[in-house]
Amino acid sequence: MTGENFAATGQLLGTVVAVQANFYRVHLDQEDEEMREMREMREMREQEPPLPHPPYPLLLLCTRRTRLKKIGQQVMVGDRVVVEEPDWAGGRGAIADVLPRQSELDRPAIANVNQILLVFAVADPPLEPYQLSRFLIKAESTGLDVLLCLNKSDLISPQEQQQVSDRLLGWGYEPIFLSVKDDINTDQAAKYLSNKITVIAGPSGVGKSSLINTLIDANLRVGEVSGKLARGRHTTRHIELFELPNGGMLADTPGFNQPDMDCLPEELIHYFPEARKRLAVASCRFSDCLHRDEPECVVRGDWERYEHYLEFLDDAIARQTQLHQQADPESTMKLKSKGKGQSQYEPKLESKKYRRISRKTQLQDLQELYRDEE
């Protein structure tokens, strides 16, 4: 809460840190000395009852005003909200208004995020370039800053670490190598999170929950890595914001293995930093170039992730085609899964045309035939 807002409105402001059914946990802004003096002057001037002293509780369990429900105002984790009618003894209140959002993500559903902390492991499970690239593209598509941390760096040699670093620098990223187990560079990662709302993401089993435990001294459940699949079990069930010791908040998100490629095909290339670098100094011959086999394309070439781009482009085109087909009920094509993550479009069969006639219908037809002959 800023002193200016508090002095001007006298409202209780806070941040939604968790959503549970129809209830919202709101972390109220703390007052500094200047804000406290302005509040007390306003209370004396307007003859309002003072807030409790010693300091009121920072966490309230709130409901949403009916007015917000009627106008369709959704309340998300990360929202800045105005709280009314606080019940200090019971730790409850009511959300009266939602302040304008600076940013908004739909998966996960969270507002006012400043950056994404992408966590992968360099070993156990091994680092998979294709999977990492897919997560990076999804993170880039949000338009937020992306911070890449590689955990379990104690399991590889300094030479291997340098090779991974050089490779990712070619992608356009400067990773932070850390080890939660041996407490290596966790303080360096913490500096980037100060006074920001950060979403932490990445595949299961890479140490996200352990890293959060270290950064906020929390007690999240941590699942062991499955020996068969070299993947971790999903241990996060819901979105929640955790307060950091040096200011800012960190959001853990439910684990997922492969983010959807739900961007437009023509936008995809801009989510590759190495491709953006090429487009910054030259342009393709065609404005709608998809950088596959078009002539005079400045992007197509010998950069490492170009093959990833082509695969993601096929996914993005297939998704767009599917959306168009769903929007067109007269479509004669359908998307059919072929296994192993592959799919292709096939002609639709005409409804009921090739369906076997039931015995009951056959018997009825025979009875009609006999009656006609008689």
Give the residue numbers of the binding site. 151-154, 202-210, 284, 289, 291, 297
Distances 248 to 13, 112, 196 between C-alpha atoms, Å: 16, 12, 5
**Binding-site annotation: residue ranges for GTP:** 151-154, 202-210
Which helix (DSSP H) or strand (DSSP E) does residue 165 occupy? helix 158-171
Per the listing, tokens 């983010």 go with 259
The pair phi, psi for residue 91, each rounded to 5°, is 70, 40
> How many residues in total does the chain contain?
374
Q: Residue type at 314? A: D
- For the range 228-233, what are the long-range contacts, defined as Cβ-Cβ under 8 Å and sequence gap of 24 or more? 230/124, 230/125, 230/126, 230/205, 231/125, 231/203, 231/204, 231/205, 231/257, 232/125, 232/203, 232/204, 232/205, 232/206, 233/204, 233/205
**Binding-site annotation: residue ranges for Zn(2+):** 284, 289, 291, 297
Quote the CA–CA distance of 332 and 7 in Å, as a whole number: 63
Q: Residue type at 197? A: I
Helix axes 273-281, 158-171, angle to 10 degrees: 40
The tokens for 358 are 């039931």
